[in-house]
Amino acid sequence: MRVDEKTLAEDIVRMSGTNVKKCMKCGKCSATCPSFEDMDVHPHSFVTMAEEGDVAGLLKSKSLWKCLSCFACVERCPRGVEPAHLIEAVRFFALSPQGLNKMKPDVVPIFLQNLEEKGAEVPQQLLTSAFRKYSK
Amino acid sequence: MQRIGVFVCWCGSNIAATVDVDAVAQAVKTEPGVAFSTNYQYMCSEGGQAIIRNAIAEHKLTGIVVCACSPRMHEATFRKTAATAGLNPYMVEIANIREQCSWIHKDREKATVKAIILSRAAVAKLNLDSPLTAGETPVTKRALVIGGGIAGIQTALDIADAGYEVDIVEKTPTIGGKMAMLDKTFPTLDCSACILTPKMVDAAAHEKITLYTYSEVEKVSGFVGNFTVDIRKRARSVDADRCTGCGDCMEKCPSKKSKSEFNQGLSNRSAIYIPFAQAIPNVPVIDREACIKFQTGKCGVCQKICSAKAVDYEQQDEIMTRRYGAIVAATGFKTINLGRFEEFQYAQSPDVITSLEFERLCNAAGPTKGKVMRLSNHETPKTVVFVQCVGSRSTVECGKTYCSKICCMYTAKHAMLLKEKYPETEVYVFYIDVRTPGKGFDEFYRRAAEEYGVRYVKGMVGKVAEENGRLRVQASDLIADKQLVIEADMVVLAAAIEPDPSARNLATLLTASMDTNDFFTEAHPKLRPVESPTAGVYLSGVCQGPKDIPDTVSQAGAAAAKVIGLLAKDKLVGNPCVAGCNEPLCNGCSACELVCPYGAITYEEKTVMDHGVREQRRVASVNEALCQGCGACTVTCPSGAMDLKGFTNLQIMAEVDAICR
């Protein structure tokens, strides 16, 4: 159903509005990330993987749903690469194949309920960000 | 009618790979005035120049067009060639078919057409050329060096040693600059003051050098060989001739709460002060903003106790007008403001400091007498984190896009000095890349890591936070793919450096160009690195780009050599391509006079013949010695009276016509 991975990677990068080539591998994104310990793929690696076109790796990484969208990496990146925007774009690609299954306002209370029961499974900031993005 | 020779250069493959040079040579054959055309592999080589010389003799050429690289590269070369063959050197036109054609195009067919058009335009212009003769101007045998740091001192010493008079203008009360603030210098770890202060003394004692400290350049006019400069000597409020430098005034001064500029604000100084013990001149200055006498009128302690009667509250700024043949910019640098890098807590925590502040803490003459201590509680730090590239190599607004070049080495130096003084200290250095390309530099950095056990971690610090009186440093270790959290006592930030803010205003005064970062631009990045594109203006030290001390001293000497080369000449051959006024057309409006950046245009009452009528009129007159041929007047003139020799309105229109044909 999909075009080849390389084109897909390029689409994701374009959609994110980031320029992964600007990355100078300083690691400030990973240094500043509050979710670092929960992630299997760390923000700086996310940028490298996108640069290499490893979409499969990005889509199956746990980090995709661990990013808080706090945008600390966007704020601190000295080269303006904006790793969080990249992660947001990959999330969109993970969600879009589910058709009209976009988040609606009425599902939010369920998420919040889960949040109380199971702890920080879905971070609140992620929810806000996703709601803002996908409910249109 | 001219007899024109056209010489098309291949420039190896630089031009020939994209432009069909033979087709260009053939195409221009039919242009009006062209008597000969050819092409050759390297027109600038001796062989190529011989072809030109022979063709001039054989075909009795009256002018030549060389289709080659930019005139900035070889126009002078080909003018000399023409002159040796007996042609007037201004009967040479260059068609730039390299930078403006072959280098920027890929399509050979289209590039060839463009090269033909550019060559045609040059031929059309040459048809209207007339021989020009350059005038001569005398050279004022005195140089001005602006900035009294190591760059300015070295340049001044080298020029003075060659026998020429030099003035140094320094805006702070002492010479010495940033180097005077440093503790040790890499890679030899010799004491900065020990190698700098003798040079400061040499400069002050040199019979050919005059120091103007606490002074600034206010106005510059004239041109290469003949600059006139206004220097404002700010009022020190102390008579330098009377002052003995005893220091009693500073001791007794009741206003002692001003931040010491020399100690980076880490200690206080009195309102009447010398910046540091070895300052030159050793004459205090009154900081009028901080002085109680100046602010309230009630004090005058320093004047009362001064046995030499040197304190003078009435002293005024003094403007001196001096003439120079050459000007050297040596305005240096400062570290960038770190207030906006909130993640490092620089503005919030006293234990987060810049490298220059660390330098003062290490220094035996510094605010802590060389004891490295936390500024919050005066304890010796047990764990110290150095962060590299703070603001350097950054494309965000508060950073600088370039590498500041000196930070890798001084951080290795700081780490070693710290380990030397306090071997038990845990020292971390967070780096993006360690750049140590100087002589003995990489060995120096490796010594820090291998012999001193400094922990170099590839990664950046993301966040510093104060926690329980210590600093929680969160950072990346990219090689281990880990996030490190270090409980540190002190964080030292290698702040990016930027040109001194005074450089921008100076560049305007000198009409010297700057890059987007406010570093002065050199005339050629490889072949003319110490000259500004503005004739007679030279560059020394960090004002041209980030440099360490060895590089600065080398460049300072190179700038001096260029100045000496200029001052050694008795006369300079001017540029004959100057403006002239066609008096019958001039309507006396003064527009050209107002726009001329060199003050070369004046108006005078003259008898003018206009269509057989003799009239008394006010018309423009150009001083050809002052005119630099910029052409601003020619485009301002509403009546078309102003014209530039060698670039007349007719010639430019002929070029345009040839291009549009």
pLDDT tens sequence across B438-465: 999 999 999 999 999 999 999 999 999 9
Note the pLDDT of residue A15: 85
Does residue A70 sit in the same domain as residue A56?
yes
Please tell me the distance from the alpha carbon of residue B43 to that of residue B68, in angstroms, as a whole number. 8
Note the pLDDT of residue B46: 96
Q: Choose the weakest-confidence range: B31-45, B267-281, B610-624.
A: B610-624
Residue B526: exposed, middle, or buried by beta-carbon count in 10 A (0-12, 13-18, 19+)? exposed
Does residue A27 sit in the same domain as residue A79?
yes
- Residue-wise pLDDT for B77-99, tens only, equals 999 999 999 999 999 999 999 99
Residue A121 pLDDT greater than 70, yes or no: no
Please tell me the distance from the alpha carbon of residue B213 to that of residue B490, in angstroms, as a whole number. 36
Does residue A22 sit in the same domain as residue A89?
yes
Residue (of B40, B27, B26) closest to B81 by Cα position:
B40
Strand order in the sheet with B470-477: B461-467, B470-477, B482-488
Q: Choose the weakest-confidence range: B93-97, B508-512, B607-611.
A: B607-611
Task: Cite the beta strand spans of B496-600 per DSSP E.
Answer: 497-499, 537-539, 571-573, 579-581
Q: Which of chain B's residues have a Cβ under 8 Å away from the Cβ of A77?
A: 396
Indicate which of A21, A22, A28 best probes the interface with B, i.e. most B CBs within 10 Å of its own CB.
Answer: A28
Note the pLDDT of residue A46: 92
Does residue A107 sit in the same domain as residue A95?
no
Note the pLDDT of residue A1: 38
CB contact under 8 A, B478 and A25: yes
Residue B334: exposed, middle, or buried by beta-carbon count in 10 A (0-12, 13-18, 19+)? middle
Which of B395, B399, B460 faces A31 most closely, judged by CB atoms?
B460
> What is the residue range of A58's domain?
5-101
Q: Which of chain B's residues have a Cβ under 8 Å away from the Cβ of A44?
A: 476, 478
- For tokens 């710290």, the residue is B418
Q: Choose the weakest-confidence range: A71-85, B486-500, B534-548.
A: A71-85
User: How many angstroms away from the CA of B245 is the closest CA of chain A?
Assistant: 48
CB contact under 8 A, B478 and A27: yes
Does residue A77 sit in the same domain as residue A115?
no
Residue (of B458, B446, B455, B366) closest to B409 by Cα position:
B446
CB contact under 8 A, A42 and B394: no
Q: Average pLDDT for residues B128-134, to the nearest whole number?
A: 93
Which of A22, A37, A76 faces B343 most closely, judged by CB atoms?
A76
How many CA atoms, within 13 angstroms, populate the side-chain half-sphere of residue A77? 22
B99 secondary structure, DSSP code:
I
Torsion of CA B267, B270, B272, B276, to 10 degrees: -30
Please tell me the distance from the alpha carbon of residue B493 to that of residue B392, in angstroms, as a whole number. 11
User: How many angstroms away from the CA of B520 is the closest CA of chain A?
Assistant: 25
Residue (of B501, B489, B515, B294) closest to B386 by Cα position:
B489
Q: Which of chain B's residues have a Cβ under 8 Å away from the Cβ of A39?
A: none
Residue B279 pLDDT greater than 60, yes or no: yes
Residue B428: exposed, middle, or buried by beta-carbon count in 10 A (0-12, 13-18, 19+)? buried
Which of A24, A30, A76 faces B483 most closely, judged by CB atoms?
A30
Q: Looking at this protein, which amino acid is placed at residue B263? A: N
Residue A56 pLDDT greater than 90, yes or no: no
Buried b / exposed e along B457-476 (16+ C-beta atoms within 10 A): bbbbbbbbeeeeebbebbbb
B237: alpha, beta or left, given left = phi > 0 and alpha = psi -120 to 50?
Answer: left
Please tell me the distance from the alpha carbon of residue B142 to that of residue B213, in angstroms, as a whole number. 18
**Quick one: three-class SS letters along B141-156?**
CEEEEECCCHHHHHHH
Nearest CA in chain B to A79: B395
- For tokens 């001791």, the residue is B251
Residue B637 pLDDT greater than 90, yes or no: yes
Does residue A37 sit in the same domain as residue A94?
yes
User: How many angstroms away from the CA of A127 is the closest CA of chain B?
Assistant: 25
Spatial neighbors of B345 by CB under 8 A, at least 6 apart, are: B352, B464, B465, B466, B471, B491
CB contact under 8 A, A78 and B478: no
- Residue-wise pLDDT for B222-254, tens only, equals 889 999 999 999 999 999 999 999 999 999 999
Please state, for a pLDDT cut of 70, what percent of chain A lies above it: 68
Domains of chain B and any CATH numbers: 4-126 (3.40.50), 142-234+317-332+500-567 (3.50.50.60), 248-305 (no CATH), 334-498 (3.50.50.60), 579-645 (3.30.70.3270)
Note the pLDDT of residue A118: 57
Does residue A73 sit in the same domain as residue A88?
yes
Q: Is-contact B97 B15, C-beta < 8 A?
A: yes
Does residue A74 sit in the same domain as residue A128?
no
Please state, for a pLDDT cut of 90, what percent of chain B lies above it: 92
Please tell me the distance from the alpha carbon of residue B535 to that of residue A75, in angstroms, as a whole number. 45
- Residue-wise pLDDT for B479-497, tens only, equals 999 999 999 999 999 999 9
Question: What CATH number should be reported for the domain holding residue A55?
Answer: 1.10.1060.10
Reading the block at residue B588, the tokens are 């006396």
Reading the block at residue B186, the tokens are 């890499």
Q: Average pLDDT for residues B513-517, to the nearest whole number?
A: 94
pLDDT interval class at A136 (50, 70, 90):
very low
Interface of A with B in 13-72 (CB under 8 A): 22, 24-33, 36-37, 42, 44-45, 72
Q: Average pLDDT for residues B568-594, to the nearest whole number?
A: 92
User: Beta B190-191 vs B579-581: how paired, if at all?
Assistant: unpaired
Residue B165 pLDDT greater than 70, yes or no: yes
Nearest CA in chain A to B476: A31
Residue B550: exposed, middle, or buried by beta-carbon count in 10 A (0-12, 13-18, 19+)? middle
Residue B638 pLDDT greater than 50, yes or no: yes
pLDDT interval class at A101 (50, 70, 90):
low
B192: alpha, beta or left, given left = phi > 0 and alpha = psi -120 to 50?
Answer: alpha
Residue (of B548, B512, B549, B517) closest to B531 by Cα position:
B512
Alpha-helix runs per DSSP H in B451-541: 502-510
Note the pLDDT of residue A128: 66
Does residue A72 sit in the same domain as residue A38?
yes
Q: Is-contact B391 B495, C-beta < 8 A?
A: yes
Q: Average pLDDT for residues A69-90, to the nearest whole number?
A: 91
Q: Which of chain A's residues have a Cβ under 8 Å away from the Cβ of B477?
A: 27
Note the pLDDT of residue B122: 97
User: How many angstroms away from the CA of A23 is the closest CA of chain B?
Assistant: 11
Does residue A51 sit in the same domain as residue A96?
yes
Q: Average pLDDT for residues B312-321, to the nearest whole number?
A: 96
Does residue A56 sit in the same domain as residue A110?
no
Reading the block at residue B345, the tokens are 């807590």
Average pLDDT over all residues of chain B = 95
Q: Average pLDDT for residues B634-644, to the nearest whole number?
A: 94
Does residue A94 sit in the same domain as residue A106?
no
Interface of B with A in 338-397 (CB under 8 A): 343, 389, 393-396
User: Beta B383-390 vs B490-495: how paired, if at all?
Assistant: parallel
Instruction: Tally the domains of chain A.
Output: 2
Note the pLDDT of residue A111: 65
pLDDT interval class at A29 (50, 70, 90):
very high
CA angle in degrees (0–180, nearest 5) for A92-A96-A99:
155
Note the pLDDT of residue A68: 87
